[in-house]
Amino acid sequence: MSYIQNIIENLKISYPIQNEFHQAVTEVLISIEPILKQYPIYQEHKVIERIIEPEREIYFRVSWVDDKGCIQVNKGYRVEFSSVLGPYKGGLRFHPSVNESIMKFLGFEQIFKNSLTGLMLGGAKGGSNFDPKGKSDNEIMRFCQSYMSELFRHIGAKTDVPAGDIGVGAKEIGYLFGMYKKLVNRYDGVLTGKSTRWGGSMARKEATGYGIVYFAKNLLEDNGLFLEGKRCIVSGSGNVAIYTMEKLLLLGAKVIACSDSKGIIHDEHGIDLELIKKIKDENRGSLEEYQVSKPNSKYIAAESYPENRNLIWSIPCDIAFPCATQNELNINDAKELIKNGVKAVIEGANMPSTPDAIKELQAHNVLFAPSKAANAGGVATSGFEMAQNASMQKWDFDEVEDKLSVIMKNIYTTSLENAKIFDNSSNLVIGANIAGFKKVADAMIEQGVV
Ligand code: NDP
Ligand code: 2IT
């Protein structure tokens, strides 16, 4: 058994039910195998054995009182994975599916994604199995206050800086910030994704989606293709999906479908983004409402999907952007996309494609952009928010967007260069993993055994 396989097997024995975490670690370790052979120093310094264990993992009870006066109890997490390149940094996810495995896979991915941005950012993730859907603003506020009443002692502008993710947007960040400020009696840039009225960066809300499209543009143009007129499908209809669609439309592409956890909207006339924003952004509604205003569109309920299929990927398209959640695009979906002539798959969500789906797409020469490279624009702009807060400055929208587009181009170029140097290929999964890993690993060696 190889050194890497041995580490993966031991990880599975140590944490037997953390499938998402195994998946994320396996992908990274297999990708970096060529450089482990070339640089034995990483093995000598036990970099791999160290990097796969979080520096610190915090688990806590979150109890709060709902509008009916009943006590509710949720699980709270923060996984502080790596502080080698900077303060722990990464989002908070509030979704009923949250568990330790999901927190650890997201925290682990965040280390390498943040490294790729070139900014001083460590890697972390946190969240809760709390479901904000169907809750009143007062309930969300009381939950956030209870969550922060424990988290505050572990975070800080130079220690650990959380942000949003699934189920956590500007509203939740506001309530979390208010409680943090009250508890520590200090106005710190301790969270990013804040309202632009009181410390948030311009373009942070748009940054992940816009960055994904910038990444796609770089990749396509390098391969003689253009976004104009391309049929695009974007899964999800949350923050990342909405601003991916917005930038695609601004750059002349056509978006024909999007989705949520309950179903798909397929609109051959082109998705009306303002209507989607109204339904999803303003009140977390259901996409079914879209069809009421647009009777020519088609709604496909998730209940009708065959087993092991997500029907959004069976709609013929040129470019697919999975922007909802992990493992939402599997091998069957990949085969269907290939059959219908897909040219590129750009990952917007974290780890949305299963490993066999990625293999299948790459084997059929579909251009493939891995999430840790393509969606790094969100956390990069969080880095800009930290810089603005620390220097008491406010940059305007265009300044932030220009910086974002430069970072996305750099991430693309660096990932491609590393794929060429170490794998003699243009495989961006390998290139992004090697580029992200090398920077962290070299810094770990320089910082000693701590
Ligand atoms: P939001 O909560 O704003 O939106 C999530 C969207 O995905 C919703 O449309 C939701 O549907 C759908 N969804 C969530 N979970 C599931 C599920 N289990 N099955 C099917 N659909 C689901 O989250 P974001 O847009 O912020 O995040 C989307 C993805 O992007 C995540 O993987 C996140 O980690 C990643 N990401 C987010 C960044 C950010 O800055 N926000 C940065 C980089 C990556 P419904 O409305 O029905 O719940
Ligand atoms: O997955 C991610 O990169 C995010 N949810 C954003 C993290 C951040 O700190 O902005």
Q: Residue range 82-101: average pLDDT?
A: 98
Ligand 1 atom at minimum distance from 169 CA: 3
Structure tokens at 54: 């979080």
Ligand 2 centroid from CA 124, angstroms:
9
Q: In terms of C-beta density within 10 A (0-12 exposed, 13-18 middle, 19 or more buried), how is residue 288 classed?
A: middle
Q: Are 193 and 164 in contact (CB under 8 A)?
A: yes
Ligand 1 centroid from CA 313, angstroms:
17
**Nearest Cα to Cα of residue 236 among 260, 209, 255:** 260
**Nearest Cα to Cα of residue 80 among 154, 28, 17:** 154
Question: Which residue's alpha carbon is at the smallest distance from atom 36 of ligand 1?
Answer: 349
User: Could you read off the pLDDT of 356-384 as tens digits, one per residue?
Assistant: 999 999 999 999 999 999 999 999 999 99
Residue 194 has pLDDT above 80, yes or no: yes
How does DSSP classify residue 55?
S
What is the pLDDT at residue 287? 94
Confidence of residue 432 (pLDDT cuts 50, 70, 90): very high
Q: Are 227 and 214 in contact (CB under 8 A)?
A: no
Listed in sequence order, the DSSP H helices in 191-281 are 204-222, 239-250, 273-276
Residue 353 has pLDDT above 80, yes or no: yes
The span from the CA of 393 to the CA of 337, in Å, is 46
User: Could you read off the pLDDT of 245-295 as tens digits, one per residue?
Assistant: 999 999 999 999 999 999 999 999 999 999 999 998 767 788 999 999 999
Domains of the chain: 3-187 (3.40.50.10860), 205-365 (3.40.50.720)
The span from the CA of 432 to the CA of 437, in Å, is 8
Is 125 annotated as catalytic? yes
User: Residue 71 belongs to what H/E stretch?
Assistant: strand 71-82
Confidence of residue 111 (pLDDT cuts 50, 70, 90): very high
Bridge partners of 74, per DSSP, are: 62
Ligand 2 centroid from CA 218, angstroms:
22
pTM of the model as a whole:
0.98
Q: CA dihedral in degrees (176, 179, 181, 185; nearest 10)? A: -160
Q: Are 114 and 379 in contact (CB under 8 A)?
A: yes
In this structure, the residues whose C-beta lies within 6 A of any atom of ligand 2 are 89-91, 113, 163, 165, 192, 350, 378-379, 382
